Amino acid sequence: MWAVIRNRLLMLIVVIFGVSCITFLMSNVIPGDPARMIVGVKATEETYQRVREQMGLNDPLYEQYLNYMQGLLTGDLGTSLRTQQPVIEDLITYFPATLELVLYAFLIAIILGVFIGVLTAVKNNSMWDHIGRIFSISGVSLPVFWSGLMAIILFYGVLGWLPASERLDLFIDAPPTITGLYTIDSLLAGDMEAFSNSVLHLIMPVSILAFVHLSAITRQIRASMLDVLQQDYIKTARANGISSSFLIIRYALRNALMPAVTVVGLSIGSLLGGAVVTETIFNWPGMGKYVVDSIGSLDFPAIMGFTILIAIGYVLINLLVDLLYMVLDPQIRE
């Protein structure tokens, strides 16, 4: 087991090195001329050259890369051209909003996904199975930016049940920051008004985001449940008269969850991508909205800072998932 972990950590270093190369190339080589973008087309040649010098663009490429890496290791992702703040500080400010959105979407998707997956597998080829199947294919086929808009038209525009943007209503103060998650902070502060308001604001974006993720999980759980239910030990247990629900939960689901763990880890990538779009639609003040605004104003340090941070986070999550897998599956541990 330790050899596997060591290998994975080595791989992690290679991957993070590669990731930094890619973002470096994207921010420093492809987009033409960042200095020109700062000074504008009308600037004099002198100003332009001075800015190039300041930005280190006249240094050889390897030196620029070393500087970039040095910054990266100390957590310096450059300064945002749009907000004039260090990118890392901006991202830390916007992180809790994204975390709150993604975390709840993830939890709902897992719980419902396992439930629907088991249901459709047990009732294989029944009407429930077909409905579940159409449901899960719909989830991966819906453009998030569109289903979000449709939800807003219905629940905000027509019915007026739910708020359509931001994390709280204008006249409600944010609870004192402890975790940065408004739902938890407001509970800790005993502020029930802020709590219920933040829940209302979460319902739509979280459901839209969870739906996409839910489909991926449902499909995986259904497939692996179908596999497991065919196994001899399930037949034996059945023949021994073990009750159906006990059998499904204790014998089948436990084993069916194994392959699902990896898929869940990988599909967090699509959850993060979906969060960017969801935040844009719901005007949710998180990292995703921050990066889309940055794209609008060609703010490359911000775009690349976000990208590399997400990539590193994603790699770490998958490493954790692999380790979890080893803990769960004694066959791999040995």
Partner 1 sequence: MQTPQTSPASHPAVVPERVPGTVQIFWSRFRKNPLTMVGGVIFILFVLIALLAPVLTGNDPNQVRMDLALQKPSAEHWFGTDEVGRDLFARVIYGTRLSLGMGISIIIVAGLVGTILGAVAGYLGGKIGQIIMRIMDVILAFPTLILAMALSAAMGPSLMNAILAIVIVKIPAFVRLARSETLVVKEKLFVKAAQTFGLSDTWIIVRHIIPNVITPVIIQMTLDLGDAILMVATLGFLGLGVQPPTPEWGAIISTGWRYFLDQWWYPTFPGIAIFLVTISFNIIGDGLRDMLDPRSAR
For partner 1, the binding residues (CB under 8 A) are 11, 14-16, 18-19, 21-23, 26-27, 30-32, 130, 133-134, 137-138, 140-147, 149-150, 152-153, 157, 227, 230, 268-270, 272-274, 276-277, 280-281, 291-292, 295-296, 298, 300, 303-304, 306-307, 310-311, 314-315
* Closer CB to partner 1, 50 or 314, in the complex: 314
* Closer CB to partner 1, 198 or 318, in the complex: 318
Provide, rounded to whole angstroms, the least separation between the CB of residue 29 and partner 1.
Answer: 9
The DSSP string of 145-211 is: HHHHHHHIIIIIIIS--S--SSSS-TTSPPPPPSSS-HHHHHHHTT-HHHHHHHHHHHHHHHHHHHH
| Residue 69, token pair as written in the block | 């890496």
Provide, rounded to whole angstroms, the least separation between the CB of residue 37 and partner 1.
Answer: 11
* Closer CB to partner 1, 97 or 304, in the complex: 304
Q: Quickly list H helices, the chain.
A: 2-28, 34-39, 45-55, 61-73, 87-122, 127-141, 144-151, 182-188, 192-229, 232-239, 244-246, 254-281, 287-296, 300-328, 330-333
Q: How far is it, in rounded angstroms, from Cα 243 to Cα 325?
A: 28
Provide, rounded to whole angstroms, the least separation between the CB of residue 40 and partner 1.
Answer: 17
Choose among 311, 279, 308: nearest CA to 292.
Answer: 279
Q: How far is it, in rounded angstroms, from Cα 163 to Cα 152?
A: 8
CA 143 → CA 3, 138, 152, 153, 230, distances in Å?
Answer: 42, 10, 14, 16, 36
Provide, rounded to whole angstroms, the least separation between the CB of residue 227 and partner 1.
Answer: 7
* Closer CB to partner 1, 148 or 175, in the complex: 148
* Closer CB to partner 1, 131 or 261, in the complex: 131
Q: How far is it, in rounded angstroms, from Cα 329 to Cα 259?
A: 10
Q: How far is it, in rounded angstroms, from Cα 329 to Cα 220?
A: 18
Pair 77, 24: CB distance under 8 Å: no
Provide, rounded to whole angstroms, the least separation between the CB of residue 133 and partner 1.
Answer: 7
Is the four-CA dihedral 171, 172, 178, 184 of positive or negative sign? Answer: negative
Provide, rounded to whole angstroms, the least separation between the CB of residue 261 and partner 1.
Answer: 18
Pair 272, 310: CB distance under 8 Å: yes
* Closer CB to partner 1, 115 or 146, in the complex: 146
* Closer CB to partner 1, 79 or 136, in the complex: 136
Provide, rounded to whole angstroms, the least separation between the CB of residue 93 and partner 1.
Answer: 19
Provide, rounded to whole angstroms, the least separation between the CB of residue 326 and partner 1.
Answer: 19
CA 81 to chain centre: 25
* Closer CB to partner 1, 142 or 326, in the complex: 142
